[in-house]
Structure 1
Amino acid sequence: MANGTAPSAAGAKAALPRPHRSRMRRRSPAFWFLIPAILALAVIGIYPLLLALYNSFHQYKLADLASGTPFIGLDNYIATLTDPSFWGALGRTALFLCLTLPIEVALGLFAALMLHRTALPWMRAAARVSLVIPMATTYAVVGLIGRLIFNRQFGVANYLTGLLGIPPQDWLADPTLAFVSVMIMDIWQWTPFCALIMLAGLAMVPKEAEEAARLETPKWSKILWHLQRPYLLPGLTAILILRSADMLKMFDAVFTMTRGGPGTATEFISIYIQRVGFRLFDQGMASAQAVLLLILTIVLSRLYIRFVYREAA
């Protein structure tokens, strides 16, 4: 009897791993499909971040590679935090963000409300297609368009201001006007993005509740604040996070349009980091500045989530 039960126990033990092996076979195709994305993330995102973090603690000057890359600890960070040029570039970037982002959000909300209230489906579809065009334009092309629009001799900006009796302005040579010109081009490109996100939030509002609110009060401001606002806040959080991160690292459009000038009027923090890294050839200092910029972006994102998204939740 003992001899009869032994083979059955052994057979049961041998059969136990089979479901586990079948589950592994079912999961293995998904794992293999994920490998290219994991490798791309590691090569494009994780490795450069780790390399920048490593360089930020070393003296790494491209013009003096013969002296090696000795470890210098926090010297690059201390030099960055005591550099007036770094704080000047960061201040210009913060001013650009504080002036441009509210305008983009306000204009995007206005466009979304207008499209949401229209009863013509074809007009709404045509507007959505037209809103995608500025977003699909690359940053370098936006900078080139800006150089043409604000050209003193044949730019459209001077033609339009001339209709109002204003004499021609040298937009890209005046520090204030160059800053305003970069703002205008960024607003033109990214207001449609804000509008589409806001329109998606408005589409989530229940139609029955919206119709009942319109019957109760004709004031659109009350409907917006009490009914539509909770549905807009998640999208608004995404806009704030994405646009703030984008403005902190914007380089192509500004560099193509003004080269950071005149003087340092449009030398934002990303352009300053590029100048330190590839014109002064100090990769260690530039890496430390990039790491500090990443920390600032993370802090801003956490603040947006805490004060904007939490209110929506």
Structure 2
Amino acid sequence: MASTATHARRRAKSARYFGIVPRSPAFWFLIPAIAALAIIGVYPLLLALYNSFHQYKLADLASGTPWVGVDNYIATLTDPSFWGALGRTALFLCVTLPIEIALGLFAALLLHRTDLPWMRAAARVSLVIPMATTYAVVGLIGRLIFNRQFGVANYLTGLIGIPPQDWLADPTLAFVSVMIMDIWQWTPFCALILLAGLSMVPKEAEEAARLETPKWSMILWHLQRPYLLPGLTAILILRSADMLKMFDAVFTMTRGGPGAATEFISVYIQRVGFRLFDQGMASAQAIILLILTIVLSRLYIRFVYREAA
């Protein structure tokens, strides 16, 4: 019995030494999270990658899913509709994201300069409300705001003499309407992130800078900018990824219309996969979109975050 116990202790010791059994019990608490990540994140990605190399049509499952190699990728890259949806998404990102950052920076500077703690706390709570609203609800709110008969948008424009507009039936106005709702929802996110960066600036240095120059632009550029760049990098990465996969709010608000005016890339992929029932083509498009998101994130880190470092 003693030899058996000694042998068991030696096996346990060797297992810990080679890392087979983790020394910290925290590892066992990570197992549910790892399992959830594998089921929710890794498995769908591998399945999409597998489907992208096969002909997988839901309307013709009797024919099986034969291997087609890179044919789905070639068809995607030569599809004008795919590039049109990607171009609309890029335009939406390039116009909406700078507006959100500019408005968020303006709000963050106002809150940073206020001397009333209760006002700052109330503003932070109110800024969380749009972010906490789900995308589908934002789309429904947008349909109500831009309704031609009883929408608030036509009421406000009517106060300055502009006749009622059919916002969601006009291609340009529908695109602008989606932009407005996204700006309303995510400008507070930019403001809170940038406000956190401003709070990292040493107060002594900021007070000395205000004594040196009254120009807030010089203080912002020379003193506060290095503290804002890490948060700005996070905003660029997260918001760009969100805009590239933006679906719920657009689909609820406009269904991608009128025509294809608001058919962003995620809406187009959904149409190919669940209306044309071509899962192989949709999977290839999703993989290309993932690669594009990774490349864009790496560019942000290289050119924005490296400057902060």
Once the two structures are superposed, residues 111-148 of structure 1 have per-residue CA deviations (whole angstroms, 9 ceiling, x without a partner) of: 00000000000000000000000000000000000000
Distance in 2 (alpha carbons) for counterparts of 1:9 and 1:229: 57
1:11 to 1:237, Cα distance in 2 relative to 1, 3 A? closer
With normalisation by structure 1, the TM-score equals 0.92
Cα pair distance change 1:125/1:35, threshold 3 Å: same
**In 1, distance between residues paired with 2:106 and 2:89?**
26
Percent identity for Structure 1 against Structure 2: 91
Against the structure 1 CA distance between its residues 67 and 159, is the aligned structure 2 distance closer, same or farther, given a 3 Å change threshold?
same
Alignment pair present for 1:180 and 2:212: no
Q: CA deviation at 1:31?
A: 1.7
1:30 Cα deviation from its structure 2 partner:
1.4
Alpha-carbon offset, residue 256 of structure 1: 0.2
Deviations 1:60-98 (A, max 9, x none): 000000110011100000000000000000000000000
Deviations 1:132-188 (A, max 9, x none): 000000000000000000000000000000000000000000000000000000000
The alpha carbon displacement at 1:29 in A equals 2.2
| TM-aligned CA distance change 1:7 to 1:246, over 3 Å | closer
TM-score of the superposed pair, with normalisation by structure 2? 0.93
1:5 and 1:289 map into 2 onto residues whose CA distance is 58
1:50 and 1:212, CA in 2 relative to 1: closer, same or farther beyond 3 A? Answer: same
Per-residue Cα deviation, 1:259-282 (whole angstroms, up to 9, x for no partner) = 000000000000000000000000
Q: Deviations over 1:214-249 (max 9, x none)?
A: 000000000000000000000000000000000000
**1:197–1:59 distance in 2 versus 1, CA, 3 Å:** same
| Structure 1: distance between partners of 2:168 and 2:9 | 85
Q: 1:5 offset after TM fit, Å? A: 22
For residues 213 and 75 of structure 1, do their structure 2 counterparts lie closer, same or farther at Cα, with a shift above 3 Å needed? same
* Alignment CA distance shift 1:5-1:38 (3 Å): closer
In structure 2, the CA distance between the partners of 1:274 and 1:5, relative to structure 1 (3 Å rule), is closer
Are 1:32 and 2:40 matched, yes or no? Answer: no
Structure 2 unaligned residues grouped into runs of 5+: 16-22
Q: How has the CA–CA distance of structure 1 residues 291 and 208 changed in structure 2, closer, same or farther, with 3 Å as cutoff?
A: same
> C-alpha distance in 2, partners of 1:243/1:38?
25
Distance apart, 1:11 and its partner CA: 15
1:3 to 1:58, Cα distance in 2 relative to 1, 3 A? closer
For residues 174 and 11 of structure 1, what CA distance do their matches in structure 2 show? 73
Q: 1:166 to 1:33 in 2, by over 3 A?
A: same
CA separation of 1:9 and 1:161: change in aligned 2, threshold 3 A: closer
Structure 1 gaps of 5+ residues are: 16-26
Change beyond 3 A, Cα 1:280–1:213: same
Take 1:3 and 1:171, find their aligned partners in 2: how far apart are those partners? Answer: 83
Tell me how far apart the structure 1 counterparts of residues 129 and 148 of structure 2 sit (CA, whole Å): 26
Per the TM alignment, residue 32 of structure 1 is displaced from its structure 2 partner at its CA by: 1.3
